[in-house]
Amino acid sequence: MTQPTFSTHLGMVDILPDETPKWQKLEQIIHEEARKFNFEEIRTPILEQTELIARGVGELTDIVTKEMFAFERGDDHYVLRPECTAPVVRAFVEHHLDQRGGSQKLYYIGPMFRAERPQKGRQRQFHQFGAEILGADDPIADVDMIALMMSIYNRIGISNTTLKINSVGDPESRKAYKNALKDYFRPKLDQLSDISQKRFENNPMRILDSKEEEDQPFIEDAPIITDFLNEATAAHYTEVKNHLDSLGISYEEDPHLVRGLDYYTRTAFELISPDLGAQDALGGGGRYDLLVEEVGGQPTPAVGFAAGMERLLIACEELDIELAEPKSVDIYIVTIGDNARKWALKHLPKLRNADISATMDYIGRSVKAQMKDADRENARYSIIVGDNELKKGKFTLRNMKESEEQALDFDAIIKKLSDQ
**Complex with ligand HAM: residue 204 or 304, whichever CB lies closer:** 304
In whole angstroms, how close is the CB of 27 to ligand HAM at the nearest point? 16
In whole angstroms, how close is the CB of 43 to ligand HAM at the nearest point? 16
**Complex with ligand HAM: residue 136 or 384, whichever CB lies closer:** 136
**Complex with ligand HAM: residue 292 or 414, whichever CB lies closer:** 292
CA distance 199 to 181: 12
The CB density around residue 398, as the number of other CB atoms within 10 Å, is 22
In whole angstroms, how close is the CB of 290 to ligand HAM at the nearest point? 13
CB 250 within 8 A of CB 143: no
**Complex with ligand HAM: residue 272 or 354, whichever CB lies closer:** 272
- State CA 55 to chain mean position distance: 23
CB 330 within 8 A of CB 357: yes
List residues near ligand HAM by CB under 6 A.
83-85, 114, 116, 121-123, 126, 128, 130, 132, 260-261, 281-286, 288, 304-308, 310-311
In whole angstroms, how close is the CB of 321 to ligand HAM at the nearest point? 17
**Complex with ligand HAM: residue 195 or 281, whichever CB lies closer:** 281
- The contacts of residue 86 (CB under 8 Å, 6+ apart) are 48, 52, 53, 55, 56, 57, 263, 291, 295
- The contacts of residue 394 (CB under 8 Å, 6+ apart) are 407, 408, 409
In whole angstroms, how close is the CB of 20 to ligand HAM at the nearest point? 18
**Complex with ligand HAM: residue 303 or 340, whichever CB lies closer:** 303
CA distance 410 to 385: 11
In whole angstroms, how close is the CB of 269 to ligand HAM at the nearest point? 9
In whole angstroms, how close is the CB of 63 to ligand HAM at the nearest point? 7
In whole angstroms, how close is the CB of 81 to ligand HAM at the nearest point? 10
Exposure class string for 58-67: b at 16+ Cβ within 10 A, else e: bebbbbbeeb
**Complex with ligand HAM: residue 126 or 185, whichever CB lies closer:** 126
**Complex with ligand HAM: residue 225 or 258, whichever CB lies closer:** 258
CA distance to 9, 39, 89, 93, 100, per residue, from 97 (Å): 37, 14, 10, 7, 6
CA distance 229 to 227: 6
**Complex with ligand HAM: residue 313 or 344, whichever CB lies closer:** 313
In whole angstroms, how close is the CB of 330 to ligand HAM at the nearest point? 36
In whole angstroms, how close is the CB of 8 to ligand HAM at the nearest point? 15
**Complex with ligand HAM: residue 225 or 356, whichever CB lies closer:** 225
**Complex with ligand HAM: residue 11 or 386, whichever CB lies closer:** 11
In whole angstroms, how close is the CB of 363 to ligand HAM at the nearest point? 39
State which amino acid sits at residue 420: Q
State which amino acid sits at residue 142: D
